[in-house]
Amino acid sequence: MRMGTIRNRLLVAFVLLVLLPAALIGASSVYFGLRNAQRQVINQLQSVATLKEEQIEDWLASLRVHLAAVIYPYQIVTLVEPLLAEERTTLAYTEAAAALRLQFDQMIATTGLFEEVWLLDTRGYTLLATNRAREGQVHVTQEYFWRGLEGTYTQSMASTTAQGVTSPVVVAHPVRNADQQVVAVVVGRASAQKLNAIMLQSAGLGETGETYLVGPSTLLLTPSRFADRNTPILRIQTPILDDVIRNHTGHSGLYKNYYGDPVIGIYRWLGALQIVLIAEQAQAEAFQATYAVLWVNTVVALFTVLVALVVALFMARSIAKPLANLANTATQIAAGNLELHAPIERNDEVGALAMAFNRMTARLHKLILDRESHISDLEEAEAKLARDVAEQQALSRLSNHLQRCQSLEEAYHTSVTLLRDIFPACAGALYRQWSAAGAPQLIGAWGDAQSLQFQTAHSECLKLINQAHASHNHALPAAKQGAFTLNGSHYETLCVPLHVSGESLGFLQIQKDPDALQDLASLISRVADLLALALSNLQLRENLREQAIRDPLTGLFNRRYANEVLGPKLEVAQHTQATVVVLLFDIDYFKRINDTLGHDAGDATLRAVGRMLNSQFAHGAIVCRFGGEEVLLIMDNLSRDAALQRAEQLRQALSQLVIEHNGTQLPHITVSMGVALYPEHGTSHDELVNAADQALYRAKSAGRNQVFLAECV
């Protein structure tokens, strides 16, 4: 079958019109069906996990209630106190021990909640235990003992518990006498039987679903529903489980279980017991209904494609035959038989096509002549369009690079490189205007910047930019155009100022022959406008940034800036194992200066302190006015001794500072300082600042004009 014929193409097109939508619909149905099915199964598993978690909570509550009731208050005098006060050989001790052990055994037998129970005195010594091997052991280092002295406490022992053998839970409860004083602690290890029963219940997870518990050391704590398999599982080793245990979080999705079978499941971290609850079901069972629906959809889609093939074959034959006849006629006309007319056999679109073909033959000669007359116009339009596209691309590159610049200095120097690419055939330069009264500064140049011709153009441009009545280029009204003669040749230079809202940011110098400058006038104007706007925006952003982080009175950074930089510095110090020093001081008796000499004198004092600090700490430290007369310094990589030495030098320098106000020398000042180091005195912003503030307070309390180191936390 030849694919070049119209009939075959139509046939393929008809098939694709049905096949592609069917394939897309089928693929989307499979994708969304599986995704929705996965979401539904995960929701069901979440519900099962929630049910299991609630059952475990009820089990823990039952453990606490029964352990609290194992020794009645009126029995403390007769059963517990003899064990604490009597010798082991006395009759009172023996009777009390026998009665209490019997009571423990009865509680274990009747409730089935505990494997063993033992009694500890307030020193952690085991007085009595249902497991006699435990008697005499000391548990003073166990968390459940010293937490049990304070109240009922449940502790997870999951990290040392074997699979389904012993329970991962120990419960401790204080025993109080009539005066509500704790005289002993009763401890019970929970039975694993109830916990295993909770986990082995299928709870609507089908034939392949199961739930089980895993400890923080990846030990399997409860038996599997499928324990008849020959391979015993003691530890669960999966990346998902390691991540859940490490981050104390949850996880859900598709994975392989401990037997390597594909399952869908969830991992849930139980914080109370420090263990992981896992609920999972085989993917084959979970998605069984979804697979059945997808199979039905596939059969329907295949049947639809088959019907489309039959319809497409019929339609292709009815359309292709008259078109083939028309093609044969067109071939003969193309060979030179212009008097031949295509037969009009049908009164439909194909017949209309034949009529149009006949009219086209008559007008062919006229259309050829018309086309030739427009070729020159099209070439000119194409050239103009190419120039416009090139200019727009150049402006877009310039705009993108300027938007990525972080400072005005970077923008000026980046602009020189970009201008060289925009005007490769021209020599030029970019100037920066620092102030209205100052002379423009040359930022950079391109082209033959060393030639005598360029140097002359450079001098001419500097003269023109300062002349109010210099000649203007009619295509660039804001630009100033100059001409000069060098070695008998005539040259022109164009100086384009960069103005925004009456403010001069600099100017462009473009030097080329006059005709080329005229052609580039539009591009030069757009480049100048874009440069001026971008540089103005960067200037405004830098001004706003400086105002936002600087204290206007002292010229120091403000508290906001200190809060911004201290946190990141601590993060860097944490990674590099470096130190960060926070030095906080304020001026002693500053209120007395304001009250006796006036607020202007106080402001003069703060300004003098700011000037001195900016001079001494221009590099290597961040100095911030923290509030009122308080100043905060942040320094890196100083030892404790170096930090204290630096603080003492600063204190002495400030005490010798000469302060003048209205021609009068103000009294010398003293300061009280507090010094805190990371990580010795704190690891966070608030901890370090508070530590330095407390040290400052101690310095003031000790008589002021001193340096105090913060106390270790």
The secondary structure of 213-271 as a DSSP string is: EE-TT-BB-S--TTTTSSS---B---HHHHHHHHHT--EEEEEE-TTS-EEEEEEEEET
pLDDT band of residue 450 (cuts 50, 70, 90) is: low
- Return the pLDDT at 416: 78
Could you tell me which residue, 494 or 584, shows the higher pLDDT? 584
Over residues 516-526, the pLDDT tens digits come to: 566 677 777 78
Tokens describing residue 466: 């300062």
Amino acid at position 311, single letter: V
Judged against a pLDDT cut of 90, whether residue 631 lies above it is answered with yes
Could you give the CA distance from residue 262 to residue 281 in angstroms, rounded to a whole number?
9
Which segment, 479-493, 538-552, 697-711, is predicted with the most confidence on average?
Answer: 697-711
Distance CA 479, CA 496 (A): 4
The answer to whether 262 and 254 are in contact (CB under 8 A) is yes
DSSP string, 548-598: HHB-TTT-SB-HHHHHHHHHHHHHHHHHHT--EEEEEEEETTHHHHHHHH-
Question: Residue 189 — very low, low, confident or very high, per pLDDT cuts 50/70/90?
Answer: very high
Q: Which domains are present in the chain?
A: 69-188 (3.30.450.20), 195-286 (3.30.450.20), 405-547 (3.30.450.40), 550-709 (3.30.70.270)
Q: Decide if pLDDT at 608 tops 90.
A: yes
Residue 693's pLDDT is what?
96
Residue 606's pLDDT band (cuts 50, 70, 90):
very high
* Strand pairing report for 671-678 and 707-709: parallel
* Range scoring the smallest mean pLDDT among 328-332, 481-485, 595-599: 481-485
Given this model, what pLDDT does residue 470 score? 44
Q: What's the pLDDT band for 194 if we cut at 50, 70, 90?
A: confident
Q: Give the model's pLDDT for residue 282.
A: 83
Predicted pLDDT at 513: 62
Q: What is the mean pLDDT of the chain?
A: 80
- Give the pLDDT band (50/70/90) at residue 38: confident
For residue 413, which of 442, 440, 443 has the smallest C-alpha distance?
Answer: 443
The pLDDT value given to residue 467: 55
pLDDT of the residue at 474? 47
Which of 81-85, 352-356, 490-494, 559-563 reaches the highest mean pLDDT? 559-563
Q: What is the pLDDT of residue 519?
A: 66
Contacts of 62 (CB under 8 A, 6+ apart): 111, 113
Ramachandran category for residue 280: left, alpha or beta (phi over 0 → left; psi -120 to 50 → alpha): beta
User: What's the pLDDT at 186?
Assistant: 93
11 CB-side CA count, 13 A: 17
Asked whether residue 2 carries a pLDDT value surpassing 60, the answer given is no
Closest among 263, 252, 219, 212 to 237, alpha carbons compared: 219
The length of the chain in residues reads 713
Question: In the structure, what pLDDT confidence band is assigned to residue 642 with cuts at 50, 70 and 90?
Answer: very high
Cis peptide before 679 (omega within 30 of 0): yes
- Assigned token pair, 555: 């010229």
Percent of the chain with pLDDT over 90: 23
State the CB neighbour count (10 A cutoff) for residue 426.
Answer: 20
pTM: 0.43
**3-state DSSP of 589-601:** CHHHHHHHHCHHH
Arithmetic mean of pLDDT, 413-422: 79
Nearest Cα to Cα of residue 71 among 83, 60, 61, 80? 80
Both tokens of residue 389? 């596209």
pLDDT (0 to 100) of residue 480? 61
What is the reported pLDDT for 307? 76
Distance CA 500, CA 538 (A): 12
Highest average pLDDT, of 73-77, 366-370, 687-691, comes from: 687-691
pLDDT tens-place string over residues 482-507? 555 555 566 667 777 777 776 777 77
Contact 521, 532 (CB under 8 A): no
In terms of Cβ atoms closer than 10 Å to its own Cβ (0-12, 13-18, 19+), residue 396 is exposed
The string of DSSP letters for 515-549 reads HHHHHTHHHHHHHHHHHHHHHHHHHHHHHHHHHHH
Task: DSSP letter for 125, please.
Answer: B
Lowest mean pLDDT among 95-104, 199-208, 230-239: 230-239
List own/partner pairs for 252-258 with CB under 8 A and 24 or more apart: 252/42, 252/45, 252/46, 253/42, 254/38, 254/283, 258/220, 258/233
Measure the CA–CA gap between 140 and 368, rounded to whole angstroms.
108
Task: Name the pLDDT band for 466 (thresholds 50, 70, 90).
Answer: low
pLDDT of 165 higher than 50: no
* % of the chain exceeding 70 in pLDDT: 81
pLDDT band at 433 (very low <50, low <70, confident <90, very high): confident
DSSP annotation of 346: -
Mean pLDDT score, 260-266: 84
Residues 8-13 have a mean pLDDT of 70
pLDDT tens for each residue of 267-308: 988 887 888 888 888 877 777 777 777 777 777 777 777 777
- Which residues are bridge partners to 671 per DSSP? 587
Cβ-in-10-Å burial (0-12, 13-18, 19+) of 624 comes to buried
**DSSP tag of 682:** -
Confidence of residue 89 (pLDDT cuts 50, 70, 90): confident
SS percent in the chain: helix, strand, coil, step 5: 55, 20, 25
User: Six-digit token pair at 19?
Assistant: 């096949």
Residue 687 has pLDDT above 60, yes or no: yes
pLDDT, tens digit (0-9, with 9 covering 90-100), for 135-150: 889 998 988 999 998 9
CA atoms of 364 and 334, how far apart (whole Å): 11
The set of residues, in sequence order, having a beta carbon less than 8 Å from that of 339 and lying 6+ positions away, is none
* 368 compared with 553, residue with greater pLDDT: 553
Amino acid at 87: E
